[in-house]
Structure 1
């Protein structure tokens, strides 16, 4: 019955959010509806709603995004000077995922992961 999930995250400044996701992370814009923005990359779609008074230090928005090419994705972000979260460099976690994390301009945490069993030998 369920087909997909598209997280909704807060944004303070649409121009900054759009620039980060499109220019830094390689997403494409699917729709700009004033105080609502939709971006996508491959099979991942993220929606943003305007929250001008958001305090980034109190934002707990988080998304876990699975990938089939964790090493390539990580390197592409490094090549594009995308800041990696200081506590989230690429590493294998005890729960069997190789992952890394970044923060967007509003401190939404994006964690990218790939199962250790699906890594190339």
Structure 2
């Protein structure tokens, strides 16, 4: 019955969040209308929605999303080539749970972890 899941993450500034996801990560804005305080982005089969949260303290934001990929090496290299900031503890590595992963933070400290089963 379930077909997909779309995470909704907090953002403080729609233009900054939009710029990060479109420029840094290569997502596309899929909002057919400019919804006030709401943003929809998509890349390949990954879709993320954002809601405006003006009072968000990034140091207290625990928003996170795990994004699976089928070519972790190429994705990681594209992030490096784009000068994207990889989380200091999140460089590409093999995890004990059988995933190869890397991570980064968006402008609001939402943790984005990218992983591929090995």
Equivalent residue number for residue 11 of structure 2: 11
**Offset, 1:42:** 0.2
TM-score, normalized by length of structure 1? 0.95
Which residues of structure 1 form unaligned runs of 5+?
A: 117-121
**Offset, 1:34:** 1.1
Q: What is the aligned counterpart of 1:88 among 87, 90, 93?
A: 90
Pairing 1:1-121 to 2, within 5 Å after superposition: 1-31=1-31, 32-116=34-118
Residue by residue over 1:16-53, the C-alpha shift from the partner in whole angstroms, topping out at 9 and shown as x without a partner, is 00000000000000013111000000000000000011
Question: Which segments of structure 1 move beyond 6 Å, counting only runs of 4 or more?
Answer: none
Give the SS at the match of 1:23. helix
Q: Distance in 2 between matches of 1:17 and 1:81?
A: 17
Which residues of structure 2 form unaligned runs of 5+?
A: none
CA RMSD of superposed structures (Å): 0.5
Residue by residue over 1:58-109, the C-alpha shift from the partner in whole angstroms, topping out at 9 and shown as x without a partner, is 0000000000000000000110010000010000000000000000000000
Q: How many residues align?
A: 116
